[in-house]
Structure 1
Amino acid sequence: MLVAAGVAALATACAERTTIETFPPHHRIRPLQHGVFLPHGPQDGPAFTTLIGAAPQWMLLFRDWTHESPPLGALEAVRAQGATPVLTWEPWYAPPVDTAPADAAHQPAFALSRMLAGDHDHRIRTWAGALASWGHDVVLRFAHEMNGDWYPWGSGLQGNTAEQYVRAWHHVHDLFAAAGAANVRWCWAPNIPAPGAGTDTARLADFFPGDDVVDLLGIDGYNWGFPAPPLAWTAPAELFGPSLAELRGLGTRLPIVVTETASAEGDVSGHAKADWITQLFDHLTRQGDVWAVIWFHERKERDWRVDSSAAARTAYRHAVAKLS
């Protein structure tokens, strides 16, 4: 069994989908949990624990469709550290981060129409069977940020529509169900809608597959900290407030997880990453339906790392310590 209590409760709830009362409590009865994405994977978990003074309770992984089978060794390593594995499953061939071409999302083989046509059923069945045989609980974050324009399954790209996305989700979910993969918990995770920032301004509800095939509501959002919109410095409440309202407007009682977030260091006076971290945890702690927040600990487009500065690291350590 996973040590993390969140997935244990979720597993029970998902196994008994008979009435609304069997879902997890809309307002959590335990402290907000924290998690992390580590670019080198769970092997860096102990070092991150030392860095922040507490073991992460959720651990985010990424795999694209160049991988013919799921990373069972990495999932076991996450479990061994007492964390909940969140496996982001991306239906494309991900280019190297440093050399990604501008048209990287143009991969016709991974248009939603091709998924619906059954082109990838063999791979989907292979993954489903492997995870079912493995047998332990895993959160599968399939085709995330579907309302953005940076992935082949994104809205408006390659003829993709929100309606196709919903059908593709059901198609993949049905193949997993046929394989007996009842240990898979499905996480639907859009990006925060940001007009002008590459996200579709359609309602998140248009992309939602339904609470009969979703177990967790995810949301991704970053404080890019640029001088001007649409990616200007944004306080946590302003960044996540509208999207959390949209998720609640879906009418489900599913728990919410901030599946990716981080902040850049501020470039102007009054924009301090350390303050942003404190505000983030304070804000999410007050959201009774948000179970966890997962920090993207990598230097990528910006220096998102917890320890991009001594002040940021100190703020993160203090924020996490207050959760216990």
Structure 2
Amino acid sequence: MDIYRPDRRSVLTAALTAVLVRGCAERTTIESLPPHHRIRPLEHGVFLPHGPQDGPAFTAMIGAAPRWMLLFRDWTHEVPPVAALDAVRAQGATPVLTWDPWHAPATGEVPADAAQQPAFALSRFAAGDHNHRISTWASALAAWGHDVVLRFAHEMNGTWYPWAAGVQGNTAEQYVRAWRHVHRVFAAAGATNVRWCWAPNVPALAPDTGGARLADCFPGQDVVDVLGLDGYNWGSSEPPLSWTTPEALFGPGLAQLRGLGARLPIMVTETASAEGHEPAQSKAEWITELFDYLLRQGDVLGVIWFHERKERDWSVDSSAAARTAYRRAVAKLH
């Protein structure tokens, strides 16, 4: 999740956009969808602060089981969270495992200098400093053998992580090299069950990339399976932040992702809204607008809600109205 306050692939036809679809086979299959005509339901997912153990309660609250479940692990973890991945699968969801090359702060409060971790500057990947950790994870996930979407080094276009372009002397070129290096190690380990998700933050709220464009940070469609996009409506309680509609929040980023010409599925990999504090600012209405907007985006496969009380009360049930709106929106997907 972004912590920067002011400014977070069977082919159907060769010409259409590729998307992941869930089939009866163990391995996720691939089909195609056009960008502006939806031919399969939008799928919903969730991040739960205590992990998949809270999945049944969340399902009971919103009336439908999530199809995707977001997890986070930093590089203090020597091996993947296989038990958590199994728990996600047991609930009928596909894990989206965010794998972040840093040592995350131990508390919820992130210090201003959290991105300054020289051990995780992108140059250290080229130097081979992290090869053992990468190989260990690659072998372990290959041995696990089930579908997992690996969201590696997300929000690289922000300023709040040590792998970001423009931070610690990092460049977009170094980011691409690091990504492709990690991907090669996984391929060599036979981790064909891993799907790679490249997920920037919405560009309008993450402008400082050391002069790099978002496209400059894209590793290439040969090493990416899903395009992700993170974005939050922070509300207007802390100027210069302002209430942002779903279309204004995600429209520019979706346009840039489509502009890559990669023909890959898109997922909103993190989103949520604050409660409004001014007239015409309703979180319940924002939730309805979000799902209505994304339903009109045929190449958007799914949306994952960040269900946690953190910098804001992002949770689905921050109010009875928000919870009701979310239940109704999800019910329309089925």
Same fold (TM over 0.5): yes
> How much has 1:71 moved relative to structure 2?
0.4
1:276 aligns with 2:286: yes
Tell me, in whole angstroms, the C-alpha distance in 2 between the residues paired with 1:286 and 1:195. 23
Q: 1:6 is matched with which residue: 21, 28, 40?
A: 21
| Helix, strand or coil at the partner of 2:21 | helix
Tell me, in whole angstroms, the C-alpha distance in 2 between the residues paired with 1:288 and 1:201. 31
User: Aligned in 2, Cα 1:196/1:130: closer, same or farther, shift over 3 Å?
Assistant: closer
> What is the percentage of aligned positions where both structures have the same residue?
75
Tell me, in whole angstroms, the C-alpha distance in 2 between the residues paired with 1:11 and 1:57. 13
| Helix, strand or coil at the partner of 2:175 | helix
Tell me, in whole angstroms, the C-alpha distance in 2 between the residues paired with 1:238 and 1:124. 37
1:78 aligns with 2:67: no
| Helix, strand or coil at the partner of 1:97 | coil
1:117 aligns with 2:127: yes
TM-score, normalised by the number of residues in structure 2: 0.89
| Helix, strand or coil at the partner of 1:133 | helix
Which residue of structure 2 lines up, in the alignment, with residue 30 of structure 1?
Answer: 40
Which residue of structure 1 lines up, in the alignment, with residue 103 of structure 2?
Answer: 93
> Which letter maps to 2:303?
V
Q: 2:142 is matched with which residue: 107, 128, 132?
A: 132
Which residue of structure 2 lines up, in the alignment, with residue 172 of structure 1?
Answer: 182
Name the stretch that deviates more: 160-169 or 95-104. Answer: 95-104
User: Aligned in 2, Cα 1:26/1:182: closer, same or farther, shift over 3 Å?
Assistant: farther
User: Aligned in 2, Cα 1:45/1:198: closer, same or farther, shift over 3 Å?
Assistant: farther
TM-score, normalised by the number of residues in structure 1: 0.92
> How much has 1:197 moved relative to structure 2?
6.8
| Helix, strand or coil at the partner of 2:215 | helix
Q: 2:330 is matched with which residue: 308, 317, 320?
A: 320
> How much has 1:107 moved relative to structure 2?
0.4
> How much has 1:231 moved relative to structure 2?
2.6
Which residue of structure 1 lines up, in the alignment, with residue 304 of structure 2?
Answer: 294
- Does the 8 Å contact 1:194/1:230 carry over to 2? no
| Helix, strand or coil at the partner of 1:292 | strand
Tell me, in whole angstroms, the C-alpha distance in 2 between the residues paired with 1:51 and 1:316. 10
User: Aligned in 2, Cα 1:166/1:296: closer, same or farther, shift over 3 Å?
Assistant: same
- Does the 8 Å contact 2:149/2:195 carry over to 1? yes
User: Any idea what the Cα deviations from partners look like across 1:51-80, whole Å, max 9, x if unmatched?
Assistant: 101101100000000000000000000000
Unpaired runs of at least 5, structure 2? 1-19
Name the stretch that deviates more: 186-195 or 45-54. Answer: 186-195
Which residue of structure 2 lines up, in the alignment, with residue 253 of structure 1?
Answer: 263
1:155 aligns with 2:155: no
Q: How is 1:63-74 mapped onto 2 (pairs within 5 angstroms)?
A: 63-74=73-84
| Helix, strand or coil at the partner of 2:228 | strand
Name the stretch that deviates more: 25-34 or 136-145. Answer: 25-34
> Which letter maps to 1:12?
T
> How much has 1:115 moved relative to structure 2?
1.2
**Larger % of helix: which?**
1
> How much has 1:202 moved relative to structure 2?
4.0
> How much has 1:30 moved relative to structure 2?
1.3
User: Aligned in 2, Cα 1:199/1:112: closer, same or farther, shift over 3 Å?
Assistant: closer
- Does the 8 Å contact 2:151/2:199 carry over to 1? yes
> How much has 1:201 moved relative to structure 2?
6.9
| Helix, strand or coil at the partner of 1:154 | coil
Pairs aligned (count): 311
Which residue of structure 2 lines up, in the alignment, with residue 17 of structure 1?
Answer: none
1:54 aligns with 2:64: yes
> How much has 1:194 moved relative to structure 2?
2.5
Tell me, in whole angstroms, the C-alpha distance in 1 between the residues paired with 2:66 and 2:123. 38
* Backbone CA RMSD of aligned residues: 1.7
User: Any idea what the Cα deviations from partners look like across 1:263-320, whole Å, max 9, x if unmatched?
Assistant: 0000111100000000000000000000100000000000000000000000000000
| Helix, strand or coil at the partner of 1:242 | helix
> Which letter maps to 1:43?
Q
User: Aligned in 2, Cα 1:270/1:197: closer, same or farther, shift over 3 Å?
Assistant: farther
User: Any idea what the Cα deviations from partners look like across 1:139-195, whole Å, max 9, x if unmatched?
Assistant: 000000000010010111111011110110000000000100010000000000125
